[in-house]
Amino acid sequence: MDKRNIRNSDATSWEEVILIYTSALKAIETKLEILNNEFQHVHSYNPIEHIKSRIKTSSSIVKKLKKNGHEATIENMVEHVNDIAGVRIICSFTSDLYAVAEMLASQSDLEVISVKDYIKSPKPSGYRSFHMLVRVPIYLSNRIESVKVEIQIRTVAMDFWASLEHKINYKFEGNVPEHVRNELIECADKSAELDAMMLSLNEEVNQIKVEKQE
């Protein structure tokens, strides 16, 4: 990490902030692992395929602060950048996605700041995902820090589309040709149809299993 991009009088503050946000990621990941294991124990099924996490780079933080008209300081970084710590949860089905979101929201020590459902209301680009901004307490030796973490929950199909869209935007530096944008929207719609078909098929299989057990 390049600390020189962040103006701050105490050189160790950058390391301390990153330590706190890294600890917040670990706290969320531990919660998810416990919830996934419990779901397996109760339902003999894991709703989470895999988890990705990351800390935003200093250059990305500075770019976002400047874009929003803020000076690049540690204080502004903590106050105005909500996605310094990010967790992405990949699920098989949309039903799993909402189940995981509900389980997280019910955690007594997690404060849900905001929720954005881009599945029920996709972005104009076709982007679909479920976003939660939460605060998680981090217990340090001399204080408790309440740390913001952005959580994105997607199906495998949504994640595949989002990764491809991100690469295309990067190649064109944000100026994607209109026909390519239109094809991406069409692909997003087809991915949503595939998610709906797979969910329906999974529900049918589960129903058959129940009927056989009766």
Q: How confident is the model at residue 106 (pLDDT cuts 50, 70, 90)?
A: very high
**DSSP per-residue codes, 77-129:** HHHH-TTSEEEEEEESSHHHHHHHHHHHHT-TT-EEEEEEETTTS--TT----
Bridge partners of residue 116, in order along the sequence: 131
Alpha-carbon gap, residue 10 to 19, rounded angstroms: 15
- The tens digit of pLDDT for each residue in 145-187 reads 999 999 999 999 999 999 999 999 888 887 899 999 999 999 9
Q: What residues have CB less than 8 Å from 77, skipping those under 6 apart?
A: 6, 17, 61, 65, 84
Summarize the confidence of residues 195-211 as an average pLDDT.
Answer: 91
Q: Using a pLDDT cut of 70, give the percent of the chain over it.
A: 94
β-strand pairing of 144-155 with 85-91: parallel
Average pLDDT over residues 87-92: 96
**What domains lie within the chain, and their CATH numbers?**
3-156 (3.30.460.10)
Query: What per-residue confidence (pLDDT) applies to 125?
Result: 95
Catalytic residue numbers, as ranges: 150
3-state SS, residue 6: coil
